[in-house]
Amino acid sequence: MANQYETVTRSVTRRDAVDKAVGRAKYGADIRLQGMLQGKILHSPHAHARIVRIDTSRAEKVIGVKAIITGEDTGRARVGRFLRDRTILAQGKVRHRGESVAAVAAVDKDTADEAVQLIHVDYEELPAVFDSLEAMEPGAPIVHEELGTYFSLTPLHSKGNVLDECYIREGNMEEAWAQADIIHEDSYTTEAVHHSFIQPHEAVGHVDGSGKVTVWSSTKALFGVRGTICQALGLRMSNVQVIGAAVGGDFGGKGNAYLEPICVLLAHKAHAPVSLALSREEEFLCSPMRERSRLRLKLAARKDGTLLGFQSMHILDSGAYNDTFQGFLFSLDVAIGPYRIPHLDVSRYYVYTNNHPTGHFRGPMGMTQHVFATESHLDALAAKLGMDPVELRLKNRQKDGDQAHSGGTLQHVSIGDTVGAAAEYLRREKKERQKNRGWGIACSQYQTQRFRDIPFISSACVKMNEDGTVALSTGVIESGGGQHTTLAQIVAEVLKIPYESVTVFYGDTNVVPRDYSTSASQTTYRAGMMVKMASEDLRQQLLQLGADKLRTGVESMELVNGRVQVINKPTVGVAVTSLVREQGALQGTGTELRAKKVAILEEEKDIIDGPSSSAHVAQVEVDPETGNVKVLKYFAAHDVGFAINPQNVEGQIQGAISQGLGYALSEEAVTNNGRVVNPNFIDYKLRGARDMPPIESAVIEVPSTHGPFGAKGFSEAGLLLSAPAVANAVFDATGVRITSLPITAEKVLKALKQKEARRLE
Amino acid sequence: MANQYETVTRSVTRRDAVDKAVGRAKYGADIRLQGMLQGKILHSPHAHARIVRIDTSRAEKVIGVKAIITGEDTGRARVGRFLRDRTILAQGKVRHRGESVAAVAAVDKDTADEAVQLIHVDYEELPAVFDSLEAMEPGAPIVHEELGTYFSLTPLHSKGNVLDECYIREGNMEEAWAQADIIHEDSYTTEAVHHSFIQPHEAVGHVDGSGKVTVWSSTKALFGVRGTICQALGLRMSNVQVIGAAVGGDFGGKGNAYLEPICVLLAHKAHAPVSLALSREEEFLCSPMRERSRLRLKLAARKDGTLLGFQSMHILDSGAYNDTFQGFLFSLDVAIGPYRIPHLDVSRYYVYTNNHPTGHFRGPMGMTQHVFATESHLDALAAKLGMDPVELRLKNRQKDGDQAHSGGTLQHVSIGDTVGAAAEYLRREKKERQKNRGWGIACSQYQTQRFRDIPFISSACVKMNEDGTVALSTGVIESGGGQHTTLAQIVAEVLKIPYESVTVFYGDTNVVPRDYSTSASQTTYRAGMMVKMASEDLRQQLLQLGADKLRTGVESMELVNGRVQVINKPTVGVAVTSLVREQGALQGTGTELRAKKVAILEEEKDIIDGPSSSAHVAQVEVDPETGNVKVLKYFAAHDVGFAINPQNVEGQIQGAISQGLGYALSEEAVTNNGRVVNPNFIDYKLRGARDMPPIESAVIEVPSTHGPFGAKGFSEAGLLLSAPAVANAVFDATGVRITSLPITAEKVLKALKQKEARRLE
């Protein structure tokens, strides 16, 4: 069958590609305003201490210093991405090493650095806690005495340092244990990792003569930043304009707004624009990372592999501040996996400590950690059962009509397709056993539709120019996934115009329609649907205008090659450009309200349609002398619903694997009493292009009802599976199971030696 | 009666006031981009010459020069605001001193200046013509050989140098002359004047890696600039983004786009952004001025003052290039004045010469020149008749139901009100005759509605933020008239929110709805109506959402204090903010199509509703020793329909009088063989604040059906009357009539001496 599409399904070139490649893209640090000052933050040297006194007098005397602010200047407003668990600058006490205590604006960076060093703070050190289990003990130092009094989204009552408790319980665990032929129990740990975006957090703040605030931010959440600034500083939204600068990597870490209120306050005090950018070291000190975690898993099964019960306890070290969306059960659903298990008791605790703050990182809310544990655990169970790990997964997989663990009825489940593709790959690639080499598989299921129930609102507006080209206006930030390219393709497809005739305008809260954030694999799926709807609205208006002009009914009109014409009578028509010229503005909109009316019928409410499934396979070679793990081959099958831009899809898959392998094998923010001791890219080991194995991917398209052309979100799912696939492959290669991330050579070597020692015993 | 309005009718502070006052507003020359180059234009030293050869080799060798372009680099595309009568840079020949021949981009201004001087151009001089009458003679040097072949709007056939001929003929002049008791005939001349905006033309061009063009321009016509760039350079509108920088004065002169294509071509060639700003001298050399003109008028009347016939011939020196909207009869209607005259033969010619280019200047298309002549001429007739000039005007004034000279039936004519107010002022102020002092009056009528018939399209979009504040998105440029303040007031009024809760976003063609230009006194009247309509659309949506939520009918809902509530049941309602939060975008639009459907009924088509009338009175004192004319008092009555912001109205009136008095008394671009010899503000005499007389104004409000809250456009009308009012006052004071602008001391002294000589004869 010929491709029925003209623009979608084509790998058109990314719009941002050239500028980013040649260094012309404008990031936050590239913004230059006349008279612009450089800002600098003073960070706490203590993990937990009372602030007795701050003396800025020496710093103020430095020539070129234009403004200094401390917690006394920032008001009582609390900020935070979801929980509002901190103030703009520390007030009363500091809770982690690196907390922002004061900020300076000066004529240049050196002057700002000098002034920051001259601010004298008297601290009174307090007992600190750095371990999540210790923090849960009675009598542990309390990180947030005021816990429960000011959190906005999930009001909590004080439970010491436990910030959130969340669980899924089904059936009866005792029954599961009683029925089981086999019970497998183990513990897992993961370490803190940083998103390691190449561009650190950056912002510029400006306050004009009428008090209007303009902020340039390298954020992925324009409207979130505006909301935070307004709430933190008590401003009307009409007086705050947030403009998106280019984003040099996000991965979940660019959704907060901590620099921005500081910039604005400094700019206000200094009567000049202020630029503030974190250094790499500061990124590790104070911007949120993925949580360090401890997990205990217990799985019950019959000897034929039928899963009976699953119990897990997941404790996440939230650090001093928490940027996580709380209470969203879907994340536990992902943690359990795409399996039928009648008895469940899966719980998760977030615990404050005096470590660095934590927040979202591709596969957030503990998903990445838990899937590592679950998929490792399942593999260990398969080994104990003497069963093929693929077969174990296929046997227990969820099917259409099953209830999702977090509620709702699953439909168009594709986990069989992706795991099936992985099985196919293994059949082809996995020959006879080779020494020190092994294969591992892992799979998961991500329900993009789940986010419909929480306020991840999007909307879009398309405006036609006089020459028939189109401007898409969107709140979606291009965070590196090719989002704007994909959205432009959707517009071009619906309006039957060349892709090159679509421009994307995005960066300004004053004018673009609201979008929640480039988050949670929602952009193509949800924002894309809004863009499609806006384009369809515009198309409908064109058809109506053409029908009016030709005095016929709109239902007999079609849009072809820049003309509105009568179906099957191409000679009777009118040029789109002539219709547009008569209008001041011809624009279509896509909004949630319309989406609800158009797309989602009442009876579909409880249907979880077309979850995005995935399966990864890794082949590794373990060096028995050093313990080093080398990934030789990698396979990834993803159900993306519909690949609007196949190259972007491939890019997302490859990027996720690169990050996933870093998480699996090398990345770790090492801390010592709350101090990150490797806050740089020499000691913190990222994987480069040369460290990547050849990747083969299978893009599967089981369409979603609610995504544009059937597309689903899948980008986060890509990161979940590398760590367990590699851990399982290491086990397959060596017979040792590493239950602690990252799987470093040291850990493997130690395990190999222990195994050898046991063998010799 | 209590004021039924909350925001309109209030003189809220101008939004741009503080930033402009303290020097923070960002004009074109304030745009700073990384790696930005400075551009410089090479101007022709000849008025008319063939370009034999251009040698840029020496200039190219200057270190720091990044790009040089000549006519060979600019393609064959023709540019121009209405007529496309030139190329981006001269090709083949130059037609005036100062024509742009080549352009350079270099690392700094000095380098660019040096390089420009090193470009060698071989010219072959051609015979030139500098007088419009000579240019009309057979055998005169032809300025545009290709005239008639490429003009886009009014295709013309070659008539030597006559570019346009336009007339209104009614009745039969012979009859008028035959019936007349008195015929008065005289000639008038006016000189070229420059808008003298404080900020010269400025633009910055940037071409990104994907070929996308961004231009920052101090234009008043964002979309016009985009259109010109696209047409001149063959680009899609989706690839061209024009961003409006602050405009430091327009007055009709900032609607063209000559620098912008040069900037873009230089930026493209140099691979770097290029900034280009004209110096004051360059402004006088090459940017369009108001036309030098010659007029011959002949008026026939009965001895009771009844006007019978009016014949006039108006020849405008178009210079080498013409930026005027041609063929718009309305301008001749204004020229004739608000009088019943049965026999008319009024014609206007535009003639090319080798003088500097000309174009729109507040009261364009010859209106300002002609009204000076008409109102002077009428005054002379009154003197001949021994009749009070006020009475002569009132006697012959148009009334409701009269046919406008340019067609259509006048309704709600207010010329009687404004002239009446002037008469009232004179009754109060004009005491016994004082030596060397005199009073003069002039009046006019401006039909804002006329522009509905030509493509002065506007549209607007208002978007509500989550906190209930609103962003207005408009293509209207704030050119100094307080336009954005007025538009924001309209939004606030309709949506019943505080003025401070409205932000105005305007500067980007990619995203704001189309607006033709801040032109022709149309902004408050026409764009304001679109803004009102967009706000009403949003209000209606809010009412509907509220009604849906409360399960009642929309007709029973009202919007009060941020709540949608049931009329007369204020306790049953829902907060606007909660309605907005559920929507991704909540926005209303105002478009021409909707405007036509809503506001203008078919039977109203031929009605010219509510023309804006005005009457000015000047009192002068003439120094018999020097001939110097001092304006002692000034009165201006304007029918503005409805004063949305009374202070802005007052500002427009005072600004117009300031410019009008400059035109009357001192401003003149003196030329010598086409060279402007006083291209600076020392030799070209602007009037400053200290030169201004006390002004009393009467704001009359006869509402228009088609303007927001009844508002009309009146700003251009303000400039038409100072010159004739002053000329008439000089006559009243001295008995000499100065028929040539400006009314300099030399001219007055000479006339006084001639009068004295005649007396002595």
Dump pLDDT digits (tens) for A472-489.
Answer: 999 999 999 999 999 999
Q: Which residues of B touch A583 (CB under 8 A)?
A: 457, 459, 514, 591-593
State mean pLDDT over A543-566.
93
Residue B133 lies in a domain: no
Q: Which residues of B touch A221 (CB under 8 A)?
A: none
CA-nearest residue to B513 within chain A is A585
- Residue A715, SS3? coil
Is the predicted pLDDT of residue A610 greater than 90, yes or no? Answer: no
β partners of residue B614: B444, B638
Statement to judge: residues A704 and A730 lie in one domain: yes
Contact B332/B171 with Cβ under 8 angstroms? no
Range scoring the smallest mean pLDDT among A308-317, A602-611, B96-105, B328-337: A602-611
Domain-ending residue, one of A572, A604, A636: A604
Structure confidence by residue, pLDDT tens digits, A684-712: 999 988 999 999 999 999 999 889 999 99
Residue among B459, B466, B583 whose CB faces A593 most closely: B583
CATH number, domain with residue B122: 3.90.1170.50
B511–A505 CB contact, under 8 Å: yes
Could you tell me the pLDDT band of residue B159, with boundaries at 50, 70 and 90? low
Contact A154/A326 with Cβ under 8 angstroms? yes
Nearest to A736 by CA among A725, A746, A749: A749
- Residue A206, SS3? strand
Distance from C-alpha of A414 to C-alpha of A448, rounded to nearest angstrom: 13
Q: Which element (helix H / strand E) includes B718?
A: helix B717-720
Q: Which of A93-107, A146-160, B711-725 has the highest average model confidence (pLDDT)?
A: A93-107
Q: Which residues of B touch A590 (CB under 8 A)?
A: 584
How close does chain A come to B497, measured CA to CA in Å?
12
State mean pLDDT over B387-397.
98
Could you tell me the pLDDT band of residue B596, with boundaries at 50, 70 and 90? low
B457–A583 CB contact, under 8 Å: yes
Structure confidence by residue, pLDDT tens digits, A358-411: 999 999 999 999 999 999 999 999 999 999 999 999 999 999 999 999 999 999
Question: B386-389, long-range: CB within 8 Å, 24+ apart, which pairs?
Answer: B387/B305, B389/B440, B389/B441, B389/B728
Is the predicted pLDDT of residue A602 greater than 50, yes or no? Answer: no
Statement to judge: residues A674 and A738 lie in one domain: yes
Residue B301 lies in a domain: yes
How close does chain B come to A581, measured CA to CA in Å?
9
Residue B648 lies in a domain: yes
Q: Which residues contact A546 (CB under 8 A, 6 or more apart)?
A: A557, A564, A565, A573, A574, A579
- Strand ranges for B302-408 from DSSP E: 307-319, 322-323, 343-352, 358-359
Question: What's the domain range around A232?
Answer: 31-126+198-249+254-286
pLDDT for the residue A706: 86
Q: Which residues of A touch B273 (CB under 8 A)?
A: none
User: Token digits for A332?
Assistant: 């536990």
Nearest to A546 by CA among A529, A562, A527: A562
Q: Which residues of B touch A466 (CB under 8 A)?
A: 223, 227, 237, 514
Distance from C-alpha of B121 to C-alpha of A339, rounded to nearest angstrom: 81
- Provide DSSP, B332-353: HHHHH-SB--SEEEEEEEEEE-
Nearest to A340 by CA among A388, A389, A382, A393: A393
Statement to judge: residues A568 and A643 lie in one domain: no
User: Token digits for A160?
Assistant: 């010491």
Cis peptide bond upstream of B742, omega within 30: yes
Residue A189 lies in a domain: no
CA-nearest residue to B15 within chain A is A210
Is the predicted pLDDT of residue B573 greater than 80, yes or no? Answer: yes
Structure confidence by residue, pLDDT tens digits, A92-123: 999 999 999 999 999 999 999 999 999 999 99
Statement to judge: residues B545 and B482 lie in one domain: yes
In B514-523, which positions are buried (b, 16+ CB within 10 angstroms) versus exposed (e)?
bbbbbbbbbb
B465–A237 CB contact, under 8 Å: yes
Hey, how many other C-beta atoms are within 10 angstroms of the C-beta on B569? Answer: 12
Is the predicted pLDDT of residue B157 greater than 50, yes or no? Answer: no
Distance from C-alpha of B261 to C-alpha of B230, rounded to nearest angstrom: 9
Q: What is the interface pTM, i.e. ipTM, of the complex?
A: 0.87
Residue among A18, A515, A585 whose CB faces B589 most closely: A585
Q: Which residues of B touch A473 (CB under 8 A)?
A: 510-511
Is the predicted pLDDT of residue A150 greater than 80, yes or no? Answer: no
Q: Which residues of B touch A579 (CB under 8 A)?
A: none
User: Token digits for B563?
Assistant: 């709540």
Residue B513 lies in a domain: yes
When scoring B210, B238, B522 by the number of chain A Cβ atoms within 10 A, the one with the most, hence best to mutate, is B238
In A234-254, which positions are buried (b, 16+ CB within 10 angstroms) versus exposed (e)?
ebbbbbbbbbbbbbbbbbbbb
**Helix, strand, coil percentages in chain B from 3-state DSSP, rounded to 5:** 35, 25, 40
pLDDT for the residue A116: 98
- Residue B502, SS3? strand
CA-nearest residue to B507 within chain A is A511
Distance from C-alpha of B633 to C-alpha of B619, rounded to nearest angstrom: 5
pLDDT for the residue A159: 62
A457–B584 CB contact, under 8 Å: yes
Q: Which element (helix H / strand E) includes A109?
A: helix A109-118
Report how many Cβ contacts below 8 Å link chain A to chain B.
178
Nearest to B269 by CA among B69, B37, B40: B69
Residue A315 lies in a domain: yes
When scoring A514, A544, A577 by the number of chain B Cβ atoms within 10 A, the one with the most, hence best to mutate, is A514
Contact A235/B465 with Cβ under 8 angstroms? no
Structure confidence by residue, pLDDT tens digits, B539-550: 999 999 999 989
A589–B586 CB contact, under 8 Å: no
Statement to judge: residues B357 and B487 lie in one domain: no
Distance from C-alpha of A334 to C-alpha of A374, rounded to nearest angstrom: 10
Could you give phi then psi for residue B232, rounded to 5 degrees? -70, -35
Average pLDDT, rounded, for chain B: 93
Residue among A230, A503, A585 whose CB faces B514 most closely: A585
Cis peptide bond upstream of A742, omega within 30: yes
pLDDT for the residue A95: 98
B459–A583 CB contact, under 8 Å: yes
Nearest to B532 by CA among B577, B563, B502: B502
Cβ burial, residue B125 (10 Å; 0-12/13-18/19+): exposed
Statement to judge: residues A402 and A435 lie in one domain: yes
Structure confidence by residue, pLDDT tens digits, A166-204: 999 999 999 999 999 999 999 999 999 999 999 999 999
How close does chain B come to A295, measured CA to CA in Å?
38
Angle, CA B184 vertex, CA B182 and CA B185 arms, to 5° = 150
Is the predicted pLDDT of residue A598 greater than 60, yes or no? Answer: no
Residue among A230, A461, A501 whose CB faces B238 most closely: A501
B469–A208 CB contact, under 8 Å: no
Q: Which residues of B touch A34 (CB under 8 A)?
A: 30, 32
Nearest to B739 by CA among B197, B374, B342: B374
Statement to judge: residues B555 and B587 lie in one domain: yes
Range scoring the smallest mean pLDDT among A640-654, B42-56, B125-139, B595-609: B595-609
Statement to judge: residues A650 and A731 lie in one domain: yes
Statement to judge: residues B83 and B206 lie in one domain: yes
Domain count, chain B: 3
B467–A581 CB contact, under 8 Å: no
Residue B307 lies in a domain: yes
How close does chain A come to B609, measured CA to CA in Å?
22
Residue count (chain B): 761
B236–A467 CB contact, under 8 Å: yes
DSSP A80: -
**How many CA atoms within 13 Å lie on the side-chain side of A482?**
23
Could you tell me the pLDDT band of residue A599, with boundaries at 50, 70 and 90? very low
Q: Which residues of A touch B461 (CB under 8 A)?
A: 585, 587
CATH number, domain with residue A726: 3.30.365.10
Q: Which residues of B touch A585 (CB under 8 A)?
A: 459-461, 513-514, 589, 591
A210–B586 CB contact, under 8 Å: no
Q: Which residues of B touch A458 (CB under 8 A)?
A: 584
Q: Which residue has the tokens 């400094």?
A: A266
How close does chain A come to B457, measured CA to CA in Å?
5
Nearest to A221 by CA among A322, A82, A329: A82
Range scoring the smallest mean pLDDT among A391-395, A736-740, B206-210: B206-210
Distance from C-alpha of B549 to C-alpha of B552, rounded to nearest angstrom: 8
Q: Which element (helix H / strand E) includes A724?
A: helix A722-734
Statement to judge: residues A566 and A687 lie in one domain: no
Domain-ending residue, one of A239, A262, A286: A286
Statement to judge: residues A217 and A325 lie in one domain: no
Report helix angle A483-495 to A528-549, nearest 10.
Answer: 20
Structure confidence by residue, pLDDT tens digits, B603-638: 566 888 889 999 999 999 999 999 999 999 999 999
How close does chain A come to B712, measured CA to CA in Å?
20
DSSP B693: P
Residue among A237, A500, A513 whose CB faces B585 most closely: A513
State mean pLDDT over B203-211.
91
When scoring A15, A239, A509, A511 by the number of chain B Cβ atoms within 10 A, the one with the most, hence best to mutate, is A511
Residue A466 lies in a domain: yes
CA-nearest residue to A579 within chain B is B593
Q: Given the DSSP bridges, would you call strands A274-277 and A37-43 parallel, antiparallel or unpaired?
A: parallel
Domain-ending residue, one of A551, A574, A604: A604
How close does chain B come to A695, measured CA to CA in Å?
29
Distance from C-alpha of B627 to C-alpha of B206, rounded to nearest angstrom: 53
- Per-residue CA distances from B58 to B62, B70, B115 (Å): 7, 14, 8
Q: Which residue has the tokens 């008239």?
A: B481
- Provide DSSP, B647-688: HHHHHHHHHHHHHHHHHHHT----EETTEES--STTTS----
Statement to judge: residues A732 and A683 lie in one domain: yes
Distance from C-alpha of B500 to C-alpha of B655, rounded to nearest angstrom: 26
Is the predicted pLDDT of residue B246 greater than 60, yes or no? Answer: yes
Q: Which residue has the tokens 């909660």?
A: B578
How close does chain A come to B444, measured CA to CA in Å?
30
Distance from C-alpha of A91 to C-alpha of A54, rounded to nearest angstrom: 11
Is the predicted pLDDT of residue A603 greater than 70, yes or no? Answer: no
Contact A645/A487 with Cβ under 8 angstroms? no
State mean pLDDT over A652-663.
96
Distance from C-alpha of A416 to C-alpha of B255, rounded to nearest angstrom: 64
pLDDT for the residue B326: 81
How close does chain A come to B644, measured CA to CA in Å?
21
**How many CA atoms within 13 Å lie on the side-chain side of A243?**
13
pLDDT for the residue B19: 86
pLDDT for the residue B156: 43
Could you give phi then psi for residue B418, rounded to 5 degrees? -75, -45
Could you give phi then psi for residue B167, rounded to 5 degrees? -155, 160
Distance from C-alpha of A442 to C-alpha of A390, rounded to nearest angstrom: 9
Q: Which residues contact A445 (CB under 8 A, 6 or more apart)?
A: A334, A337, A338, A398, A413, A415, A611, A612, A613, A614, A717
Is the predicted pLDDT of residue B753 greater than 80, yes or no? Answer: yes
Q: Looking at this protein, which amino acid is placed at residue B549? A: K
User: Token digits for B728?
Assistant: 């008439």
The distance from CA A585 to its chain's CA centroid, rounded to whole angstroms, is 36
Contact A283/A679 with Cβ under 8 angstroms? yes
pLDDT for the residue A664: 98
How close does chain B come to A460, measured CA to CA in Å?
8
pLDDT for the residue A601: 47
B589–A591 CB contact, under 8 Å: no
How close does chain A come to B589, measured CA to CA in Å?
8
Contact A440/A730 with Cβ under 8 angstroms? yes
Contact B58/B126 with Cβ under 8 angstroms? no
User: Token digits for B700?
Assistant: 């009359």
Q: Which residues of A touch B587 (CB under 8 A)?
A: 461, 513, 589
Contact B336/B397 with Cβ under 8 angstroms? no
Contact B372/B385 with Cβ under 8 angstroms? no
